[in-house]
Copies of this chain bind each other. A is one copy, B any other.
């Protein structure tokens, strides 16, 4: 397989991705988006969760949600917050002078109460917390949004802004764990139907710094996270296109999510990476989607 950089160049040359000047920030062509839409539809049809509550959040959330959820303990390096100018006419004049002089005008902005959403499920937990106890049957939420992670890279599979759809399960420990395990099998079937070679392996989140190594080891030892891997950039380092995460009571303790009997709920989520799956399809079936195998086209665009 060619190197990461040359795969990205191939995508640029084919017009599927459009360079912006910043690594990991790309425009997507209509062709690219047709595949994203096809995957989204396939997940709804073949992966749908009857009774799941559909909610769509914007790509920014209250900064307090990021702070409360513990994201900054594990992933400070990936987090993005929003800063804005809150001054008057005089301050504006100064800002424009800085800009013209090529100086840092952003120092005249202030942090506002927003952070970029790092994973589609983060706004779900505070939403659920406001509703009170979860019924014994549990609750499933279907979310999808643009997410941000500050990790500029030339690997096309590692974008700074990308879309993720997730099913989030909140309920009793046994049913939540069963949800996670059901999905790691179902995900294999769903993605296998797209003619992609898949493997499932235990994984860990990219925790920050020296302390992060211990957190990563603990996560692996407890087998809390699995990933569905597809070779995209290389066969040696396949790309995580789905992840299956069992949080135990991590988020429930933070947000005080309880079952009707008063016990802490557990939570799990399955996440689909739209851009990574789309890139995997272009990698394995070629850049011209009209020439893809018929069964793949039928799975993505059934009508």
Q: Residues on A close to B: CB < 8 A?
A: 18, 20-22, 25-30, 32-33, 53-65, 67, 72-73, 76-77, 79-89, 92, 95-96, 99, 104-107, 109, 111-114, 116, 123, 126-127, 142, 146, 148, 150, 159-162, 208-211
A22-B113, A80-B82, A80-B83 known, 12 other contacts, Cβ within 8 Å = A20-B65, A25-B60, A25-B61, A27-B55, A27-B57, A30-B56, A58-B162, A60-B148, A81-B82, A82-B83, A107-B111, A109-B111
A55-B83 contact in complex given A113-B22, A114-B160, A160-B60, C-beta closer than 8 Å: no
Does the CB pair A59–B161 fall under 8 Å? yes
Task: Determine the distance from Cα of A112 to Cα of B152 in the docked complex, in whole angstroms.
Answer: 11
A109 and B88 CA atoms in complex are apart in Å by 24
Docked pose: A113 CA to B112 CA in angstroms: 18
Tell me how many chains of this kind the complex includes: 2
Tell me which of B27, B33, B79 contacts A123 (CB under 8 A). B27
Q: Which residues of B contact A209 (CB under 8 A)?
A: 88-89, 92
Contact B150 A112 (CB under 8 A): yes
Q: Report Cα–Cα, A30/B21, bound state, in Å.
A: 35
Supply 25 A–B pairs (Cβ within 8 Å), ascending by A: A18-B55, A20-B61, A20-B62, A21-B126, A22-B113, A22-B114, A28-B55, A30-B53, A30-B54, A30-B55, A30-B56, A30-B142, A32-B56, A58-B161, A58-B162, A59-B146, A76-B85, A80-B82, A81-B106, A82-B150, A88-B209, A89-B211, A92-B208, A106-B111, A146-B146
Considering the complex of A and B, which 10 residue pairs feature the smallest CB-CB distances, nearest first? A30-B54, A58-B161, A106-B111, A84-B150, A89-B209, A76-B85, A80-B82, A28-B56, A22-B62, A59-B59
A111, B83: Cβ atoms closer than 8 Å: yes
Chain B residues within an 8 Å CB radius of A29: 54-55
CA distance A72 to B85 in the complex (A): 10
| Candidates B56, B82, B210; contact of A116 at CB < 8 Å | B82
Q: What is the bound-complex CA distance between A55 and B76, given in angstroms?
A: 32
Please measure, in the bound complex, the distance between the C-alpha atom of A210 and the C-alpha atom of B159, giving whole angstroms. 40
Of the listed residues A29, A76, A77, A127, the one surrounded by the most CB atoms of chain B closer than 10 A to its CB is A76
A254 to B92, CA, bound (A): 21
Q: Are A84 and B73 in contact (CB under 8 A)?
A: no
Interchain CA distance A9-B27 in the complex, whole Å: 37
